[in-house]
A = this chain, B = another copy of it.
Amino acid sequence: MKPNTFDQITVKIRKFVAEREWDQFQKPKDLALSLTLEAAEVLEHFQWKNEDEIAEHLKKSKDDLADELVDTLWYLLALSDKIGVNLETAFERKLKINQDKYPISKAKGNNKKYTDY
């Protein structure tokens, strides 16, 4: 399989929706809502579990979790496409911002970002 670019995945989703004439149902607000709900279904796999229990859970349920991750990706791309956000361009811009915000010399091994807000 030749690797997909972001645009190519987006085109596949757009085609799937268009063939079913579902675009009329896909309001941005509902897509954003579904994005959150799918992310919550990802999170549900980690509920009540410590690290060892998660490792154990992943042994038998990785494909189920992968499905939820794909559903999250799906709505993320569908919403971005719907409102005219090029997710890849936006990623490159944000990556630069993060690189400036967390310079390697200061951020190295420092979890301040993670615990202090």
Measured CB to CB, the residues of A under 8 A from B are 1, 3-7, 9, 12, 16, 19-22, 24-25, 27-30, 32-40, 42-49, 51, 53-54, 57-58, 62-63, 65-67, 69-74, 76, 79-80, 83-85, 87-95, 98-99, 102, 104, 107-111, 113-115, 117
A35 CB → nearest B CB, Å? 5
User: Lowest 8 CB-CB distances: which A-B pairs, in order?
Assistant: A48-B114, A40-B40, A3-B5, A39-B39, A66-B90, A21-B109, A70-B94, A20-B107
- CB <8 Å contact, A108 and B20: yes
Q: How far is the CA of A36 from the CA of B42 in the complex (A)?
A: 8
- Chain B residues in 8 Å Cβ range of A88: 3-4, 9
